[in-house]
Amino acid sequence: MTATESWIRRFHPSPAARVRLVCLPYAGGSAVYYYPVSRALAPSVEVLAVQYPGRQDRLAEPGIDDAGELAGQIAAALRPLLDRPVALFGHSMGAVLGFEVARLLERDGIVPVRLFASGRRAPSTFRDERVHLLGDAGILAELRTLDGTASGVLDDEEIVSMALPALRSDYRAIERYRAEPGAMISAPITALAGDRDPRASIDEVQAWQRHTSAAFELLTFPGGHFFLTEHAARIIPLIADRLVGTAARE
């Protein structure tokens, strides 16, 4: 298996698509979270969903607890797929990884058509969060606070025991991440925020504007940290609108 095959899932291959959208999951998340997005956008946009190690079909692999290393390996896996315009969509931890992947691609002369940064405060903001230092019960309490996982799943001890190592690794990566001072990209940024998100205030999400030399927009939705799931029927067409029009101009 190549690095690309290991890291990237194409649920709906779309060879005629003029643009590809790389989707990066949240902490503890997996590529399959973006299956509905892939189904809805195909065949106009081909979704490349990233599968981090330590979960699902990569369960036997150790997690990567450094955001820079994660971004570097994702960027390397994407390189054979950069034969057409590419955009990035990341939720929560995935937004930070999308930003760092975009920076790496731009160093190679490839400017993404857009970064969608969802449910995450800007890299230039900081909160001293230490969930990764908590015991198992503390991490599970954090998940319940965010309401990103069905309570029935959290009560399944077998599933939880398999998921906790990846969760802890992801939290360690994102909580120890520090952006380089003045870090920016040339791609436009669309930031998405839930108006009751306990982990990313509207002002903190607005601060993504500091990280692009191109256009910026902020879209807000009712809800908490996982507003994305609740408002998928509104958000997916917004993604398509930004990408299909851009690809037509390429």
- Does residue 96 contact residue 27 with C-beta atoms inside 8 Å? no
Active site residue 213: no
Catalytic residue among 6, 14, 44, 92: 92
pTM: 0.92
pLDDT block averages, 10 residues each, the chain of length 250: 94 96 94 96 97 94 95 97 97 97 97 97 87 73 67 57 84 93 97 94 97 98 92 96 69
Q: What is the per-residue pLDDT for 158?
A: 63
CATH superfamily to which 3-249 belongs: Alpha/Beta hydrolase fold, catalytic domain (3.40.50.1820)
Q: Where are the domains of the chain?
A: 3-249
- Does residue 70 contact residue 98 with C-beta atoms inside 8 Å? no
Three-state DSSP class for 141?
A: helix
Return d(Cα 170, Cα 159) in angstroms, integer: 17
Q: What is the per-residue pLDDT for 248?
A: 44
For residue 128, how many other CB atoms are within 10 A of its CB?
5
R_g over Cα of the chain:
17
